[in-house]
A = this chain, B = another copy of it.
Amino acid sequence: MSLIFINESMKAREFLMTIRNTKVLAVYTIASTKVSTIPGISIAGKSPAHILYTPAYDVEYLVYGVRGCSELPITPEGIPTPALITRACLKTSGFPYIIVNAGSFIEPKVPHMVLPSRCVGERIDESAALPPGTARRLFSEAYQLAQHIRKLADTFIIGESMPGGTTTSLSIMTALGYNAWDKVSSASPDNPHELKKQVVKKALKRLAEKYPKECDVFTVVDEVGDPLHISLAGLTLGLIENGAQVILAGGTQMCAVLAIMKKLKGQKLTNMIIGTTRWIVNDITSDIRGLVLEIAPEVPLVAIDLDFSKTPFEGLRYYERGFVKEGVGAGGTAIAVHTILGLSADEILNEIIREYNEVMAYVQVR
């Protein structure tokens, strides 16, 4: 009972059977959007000034642990990054992984892959997110990268870290014609839907004025998106179109990736699932199930049944109160560990507690 199946559960089980004896490569992509600096949009940093640094610090922590990262990303309440879950899973499994920089505000101090056209996304309520043509280039670079790494494994976990991403994913999905209002999640239990709506409406108004007729996916992303989701779409399409299996490891943001892929491909998406956490699928302030069913109902949605309510650490118990929920591929990576190594959610929980102990021994978080 370590997994929760939301839709297409037969297909999900088949997918998980298929990947059981395959070689895995995890890919964690980071980027920044200045949307995250709009007061009230994101709590994924100790302070608003820290938020642009979170993606880089997340992957430094992922690679080097708490002793080697510039700073452990925490919320203003001191609740630690979900990369903690991911790191525990990677340590246990030994899965190989790479970091991809699609536009991080600072360069992480770890060896990592870069997309040549990477750049920080601008505030979509004020201006175009990306310089013209960037989305197309990021997509094609990510697709190219996928074709290369495809040869290195059969199953890929695709995770991300980009604060502000639920707002830009709302913007992308809405601009592409989906009804995503009030459905994206938040790292806060107080999901700031109204604020997100204000930001996105300004962005969409700008888009409509600039392009009175419908415009293509790349233009949508250049105008009202961000560097991350288009890169994830390029990676994922480059993998599944070359016969790999993909776990899109994330929450409602991944629905923007589905939306981009559906528009580009124009047909059903196969060989993939969305893998997330129980906190996302149970979140009453968002609706990942509704988004998947609207955008790509053929894609199974699976959650790892992690429960932090009985852990000895307040920082982890906060997750049960709707904080953080997901990020840095936490849910999907845990699903892969469960599926491929056979660890139950409770055994994974023990690994997370072990990792949290190490963090606590080094730095005082809640």
Q: How far in angstroms is the closest Cβ of chain B from A244? A: 13
Q: How far in angstroms is the closest Cβ of chain B from A70? A: 11
CB nearest neighbor in B for A60: B116
A143 to B144, CA, bound (A): 26
Indicate if A17 sits at the interface (CB-CB under 8 A). Answer: no
Indicate if A40 sits at the interface (CB-CB under 8 A). Answer: no
Indicate if A94 sits at the interface (CB-CB under 8 A). Answer: yes
Given contacts A25-B152, A97-B148, A98-B148, contact A111 B115 (CB under 8 A): yes
**What is the oligomeric copy number?**
2
Question: How many residues of A are in contact with the other chain, CB < 8 A?
Answer: 28
CB of A113 within 8 A of CB of B116, answer no
Contacts of A279-326 to chain B: CB distance below 8 A: none
Given contacts A114-B111, A116-B107, contact A149 B96 (CB under 8 A): yes
A113 to B107, CA, bound (A): 12
Indicate if A110 sits at the interface (CB-CB under 8 A). Answer: yes
CB nearest neighbor in B for A25: B152
Chain B residues with CB under 8 Å of A94's CB are 151
Chain B residues with CB under 8 Å of A115's CB are 111
Residue-wise, chain A 132-169 has the 8 Å CB interface mask toward B (1 for contact) of 00000000011011001101110000000000000000
A153 to B95, CA, bound (A): 13
CB nearest neighbor in B for A63: B144
Contact of A148 among B111, B114, B151 (CB under 8 A): B111
Chain B residues with CB under 8 Å of A98's CB are 113, 148
CB nearest neighbor in B for A153: B152
Q: How far in angstroms is the closest Cβ of chain B from A114? A: 5
Indicate if A50 sits at the interface (CB-CB under 8 A). Answer: no
A25 to B148, CA, bound (A): 11
Contacts of A94-120 to chain B: CB distance below 8 A: 94-98, 100-101, 107-116
Q: How far in angstroms is the closest Cβ of chain B from A243? A: 14
CB of B96 within 8 A of CB of A145, answer no
Chain B residues with CB under 8 Å of A141's CB are 110-111
CB nearest neighbor in B for A115: B111
CB of B111 within 8 A of CB of A142, answer yes
Q: How far in angstroms is the closest Cβ of chain B from A104? A: 12
Q: How far in angstroms is the closest Cβ of chain B from A336? A: 14
Q: List 15 A-B contacts (CB under 8 A).
A: A96-B152, A97-B148, A107-B114, A107-B116, A108-B116, A109-B116, A110-B116, A110-B141, A111-B113, A111-B114, A111-B116, A112-B113, A112-B114, A112-B116, A113-B114
Query: A residues touching B (Cβ–Cβ < 8 Å)?
Result: 25, 63, 94-98, 100-101, 107-116, 141-142, 144-145, 148-149, 151-153
- A100-B111, A111-B141 provided; 10 other pairs, C-beta below 8 A? A94-B151, A95-B151, A96-B148, A96-B149, A96-B152, A97-B148, A107-B114, A108-B116, A111-B113, A111-B144
Q: Which 9 A-B pairs have the closest CB atoms?
A: A96-B151, A111-B145, A152-B152, A109-B116, A111-B141, A113-B113, A114-B114, A96-B152, A111-B115
